[in-house]
Amino acid sequence: MNPFQFRAPTIVFANGSSGRLHEAAGSRLGERVLFITDDGLRRLGLCDATLASLAAAGMTPTVFSEVEPDPSLETLLKAVEAGRAAGVTGVIGFGGGSSLDVAKLAALLLGSAEDIDAAWGVNNAKGPRLPLVLVPTTAGTGSEVTPVSIITVGENEKRGVSSPLILPDLAVLDPELTLGLPPAITAATGVDAMVHAIEAYTSKNANNNPISRTLAREALRLLGANIETAVFDGSNLAARSAMLLGSMLAGQAFANSPVAAVHALAYPVGGTFHVPHGLSNALVLPHVLRFNAPEAASLYAEIAADAFPDLEREPGVQAKCVRFIESLATLSSSLGMKTKLRDVGIGECHLPQMAKDAMKQQRLLINNPRPMTESDALAIYRAAW
């Protein structure tokens, strides 16, 4: 067995737990907290119970609610400025992956005055950071348990910080927060979580390990069994709970056994054309898996029935692999998701530049089961177009 490390934050999973955040967090955040979220959640009142619990515990929250999808460096720096002005002692991220990613780096920059340009990349952050608690409101990104934050720099470029320093001290998972998610967001984030599990299980990273693989398979079982119910019966709390748990397990899996080419090819789709991250992944997923199949068919066959139990009866490795990929493509369509790059406003003329941009994601491509060149990426985009 290869040596490995597995890192994870403390996790609280309970209905209503976001309204008792002060109980879970205790004194670790201090008295002055930067509360990072987005304006939509603030207007919907989803933050109210959490903010009230903090105030009741004698804490003073400074609310920063300007986080946008695919958050920009400017937004991150504005959040840091708000935290410095308030002299905060801890950070809470409340929302989808965008808010959680901003919170991670805000905690880092507020705790250390670190230069963000020196922190980009893998294990370049120096720290320390402020105490950090993350509360997800979607079941998809798994950001609440990952050491990764993705920020948009300039017009289109996505940059990431990957470091155990930005793992939170505490992740608070409250399934009730996900009850109001619209079907389209539920579908996209749910498929995103399935991608995390698939890529973690098949990652060529040296830290691919038995714990990550076990979590990835359990995540696929939970997600595959509940995603359609969660999309089409959004008030089903049991399905919402299973999706949130599955997303978190997939997040832990890829936090320790990193993702690969699906994410690398999804980044130009999101960064350039502002397609939501989960949908970006779904658009390229089956095509990347078909490219990988010559090297990864046995791995895809191993997990096929986890996501789609009827594939257990499929004879042979190759047949299971093919049906697994077909089932993923069919799932996206059955959930009402767009399935072609042209459907999200991407022209065929854009594909060569997208292939060039995907090659910038070498920190991800290095984990792919099959080496990928720029011409390979272009062929995949053409198949997805």
DSSP states of 182-236: -HHHHHHHHHHHHHHHHHHHH---TT--HHHHHHHHHHHHHHHHHHHHHHH-TT-
3-state SS class at 344: helix
- Is-same-fold flag (10-177; 183-384)? no
146 with 215: CB under 8 angstroms? no
pLDDT for 113 equals 82
pLDDT for 324 equals 98
The enclosing H or E element of 10 equals strand 10-13
pLDDT for 294 equals 97
Domain boundaries, the chain: 10-177, 183-384
pLDDT for 2 equals 86
State the fold for domain 10-177.
Answer: Rossmann fold (3.40.50)
Mean pLDDT for back-to-back runs of 10 residues, the chain (385 residues) = 92 96 90 96 94 93 95 96 97 96 98 93 94 95 94 86 96 95 94 97 97 98 98 97 98 96 95 91 97 98 98 94 97 96 97 96 95 98 98
d(CA 239, CA 310): 20
CA-CA-CA-CA torsion sign (135, 139, 142, 145)? positive
What φ, ψ does residue 136 adopt, rounded to 5°? -80, 145
DSSP symbols for 247-286 = HHHHHHHHHHS---HHHHHHHHHHHHH---HHHHHHHHHH
pLDDT for 155 equals 78
CATH architecture entry for 183-384: Up-down Bundle (1.20)
d(CA 383, CA 314): 26
Cis, peptide link before residue 128, omega less than 30° from 0: yes
pLDDT for 134 equals 98
Rounded to two decimals, the pTM is: 0.94
How crowded is the C-beta side of 334, counted as CA atoms within 13 Å? 12
pLDDT for 372 equals 98
d(CA 214, CA 249): 9
